[in-house]
Structures are given as C-alpha cells and as structure tokens.
Structure 1
C-alpha cells in the first residue's frame, strides 16, 4: 500500500475511534477558555471549573496513537520509550497555559520526566489570533536550533504575554532562549515549513474536539485546563501502573510459551 494511503487510513482509524473522546475533551475544555457570547472572541475563565480526572473518566486506546515518540522531536522532552506520554496542546497567549508552564510543569519534569516515567510532547494550538500564530511559529523555529524549551520558558515567563509577540519581541525571546542564529530564526519562523507544522498540530487538536487551551492527553486519557498538580500526578501514576501491568502480563504470556 502506498505511504500516503497508509497515512490516510491511520488518520481515518484514529478519527473514527475517538468520536466519544472528542466530545468529552471538547465539552471539558470549553469551560477553561470559551467564546465571549457578546463579542464572539475567546475569553478565559477559571481553569478550576474544568472536570477532574475522575469526572473525565475514560482512557481511549485510540488517543494513545497521538503520541509520536520521535526521538528527534525538538518539541518534546523525556525518553521516546517512556511508559507515559503527555501530549500538550497549548497557546503562548493563553494565561492558564502560562500558569501550567510556571507552576505545574516544572514539578512534573522533576518528578516524572527526569526519572524516565513521563515524556511530554508539545503541540502548538494557537487560538488567540495572529499573535498566537506568530508565537507558535517562533517556538517551532527555536526548536530548529534546539532551543524550544528555553523559548517556551521565556515566552511563558510572568508578564511575557502582555508584551505581545510581534516580530521584534520574538527576536528578544529568541535571544533570551539562547538561539544562536537569530537571522535564521526569523527566516525559519516565516517559512512554509513552520506554517505547515503549526497547522498540523492545530488541526490535530481541532480534530479531537479541543476548543480551548491547555488541553492534554495522557496515555489516552483527556485532561483539560490548568488543573491542580494532583490531577496530573494521579493521571500519570495511573497510566504508569497500567503500562507496567500490561508489560508484566506480556512477559508472563511469553514465558508460558
């Protein structure tokens, strides 16, 4: 079968298999950031209003296929073969994404990524207009020089989003992130490749029914909003246990052969 047909079949299979999950993720994430009825623009509300892991209960095997596990992916951190993958759909203009990046994600990296349990795969999901799109392309361009996570940290620093993401500001962030070739960064950020990469991530999120940021999928379990640390701890540890149980069961089965 031709390569394109393989890709098309995979996309159709994933799309058909996650219909229920898409509704779940879409409804849950709608409470985190939603359109303002009076203006039609996106308005952020308390992320705490989003359902907990228990309320979102459900692990969807089809959603696990969203993990790319590409060891060369500059927009990911953690072992490619980690038992748990958290796919994160986020926007650099999103206040709650910034809160998660500053208050929760560093702890998850220290507790789970550094010791090999968790892999975090970032997806650009710009929903707040042109500034969001520029920031997403800039983040991708920083990744081309191995500085995505440093750019991520600079862009999500307290007060950063209020400065906007115009061309001059993106250059400042690139320098703050330690990007060595700023001229290349500018060129990469405006390239067709950057636009295509951002569009791919964005369409993936919309295909899942995500309507707000941040939205997450943790080994097939959707979680929406900048939830309390314990929600992520619970989801990651449950996923790690399930992965271990599955591995142990496979080992016993092979030993019995």
Structure 2
C-alpha cells in the first residue's frame, strides 16, 4: 500500500536527501527540459524556470502557497515563463519520496493539482500524520487508489524519480527549493528575486 511503497523508496533516496537544508549550486546547469518533465505554461515561453522541490520542505511549501499564485499570474498566465517542477526529496525521506511518486503516478494533467494539495496541507503532517495527507493527494490525482498503488509498485516511477535526483545532483543542488532561470541559479525564492532574474530576459 502507500506506506509500503514509501518505505521501499526510503533507501533509494536516503543518501541524496540526508542533510538537505539550503540551496547550493555548482556551475553546471540542470538537465534540459524533456517530455518527461511536468510543466506549467506555454512550451514556447521565452524563459524557463526549473524548480527542484520537496513535498516535505517548508520553504518549498512557502513558495507554492505564498509566491506561486502571484508568479503564475505575472509570468506563466501571460506566456512569458514556463515553470518546470522536479522532485528532490528531503527529510523525512520516505514520506517525501512517496509523495513525489504519488504525484508522478497521477494523470499528467493532474500533477500540479497533487503538488498543490501536498504543499497546501504539508503543515498538517505534524498533527494528523501522513495517511490523510496521502489520501488527499490521491484524491486529486485523477486516478483511483488502486491505480496509484499499482503504479507505485512498478519500476517506471522509481526510475523517473531517480533521474530527477541525479539531475539535481549533477547541477550541484544541495537543498530545496532551488531555482534555475534559463539555466542560471537563483538562490532566493521570493517573487522579487525571481523577477530580478527574469525581467532582463524579457526585454
């Protein structure tokens, strides 16, 4: 079930997730955007913002809950930016990896719905535990619980999550959330900082 799937991924992500706290970058850009990525915005948007995030990271939740609505209205809905969301699970690694897997198993058009639910309800993990949190994510997935569990038991999602973690590692990402604007890192996830990186590229 969901609990078993989460535990099966814990060893897989433990080393990559251990100790992540604040973004740090090497000189390398993240891997290019492919059809496997989950993207908000037009494919031909002039600016691409890649976000590495964890569904158990409080700063990631802050971005999605407090910054993303204004960012979406200013840049994504106007066709100026496409936002690419990639997963880099942080502690507790088994919970974050299982949540990422649920989102990846969702119907493609529901990925950001699941992400939004997990970020919105993240604070409830401390009081309610993970089961209601996962249930809400699954309810937003466009698939049944049985379909999600079948997906979690297969090798495809593990390989996809592995590739996202490897891409973050190759780009020198050492914490979440981490943002790249047209391949260049931006350390601050505030709207002002992202705007400062994006606006010169739109002139």
Given the two structures, how large is their TM-score scaled by the length of structure 2? 0.79
How big is the alpha-carbon RMSD for the aligned residues of Structure 1 and Structure 2?
A: 2.5
Q: State the distance in 2 between where 1:171 and 1:191 align.
A: 20
Instruction: Give 4+ residue runs of structure 1 displaced > 4 Å after superposition.
Output: none
8 Å CA contact retained: 2:37, 2:85 = no
Structure 2: which 5+ runs fail to align?
Answer: 1-17
Correspondent of 1:68 among 3, 17, 33: 33
Report how many residues are paired.
182
Structure 1: which 5+ runs fail to align?
Answer: 1-40, 242-257
Q: State the distance in 2 between where 1:120 and 1:127 align.
A: 21
Correspondent of 2:190 among 228, 250, 257: 228
Q: Deviations over 1:56-97 (max 9, x none)?
A: 9xxx7x73x734153xx5721111111000010000000000
TM-aligned CA distance change 1:237 to 1:160, over 3 Å: farther
TM-aligned CA distance change 1:115 to 1:66, over 3 Å: same
Taking the TM superposition and a 5 Å limit, the aligned residue runs for 1:96-245 are 96-128=59-91, 129-142=93-106, 144-158=107-121, 159-162=123-126, 163-166=128-131, 169-175=133-139, 177=140, 179-225=142-188, 227-241=189-203
How much has 1:208 moved relative to structure 2?
1.2
Match of 1:22 in 2: none
Mark the structure with the bigger radius of gyration. 1
TM-aligned CA distance change 1:174 to 1:155, over 3 Å: same
8 Å CA contact retained: 2:20, 2:175 = no
TM-aligned CA distance change 1:74 to 1:203, over 3 Å: closer
Q: Deviations over 1:27-46 (max 9, x none)?
A: xxxxxxxxxxxxxx6375xx
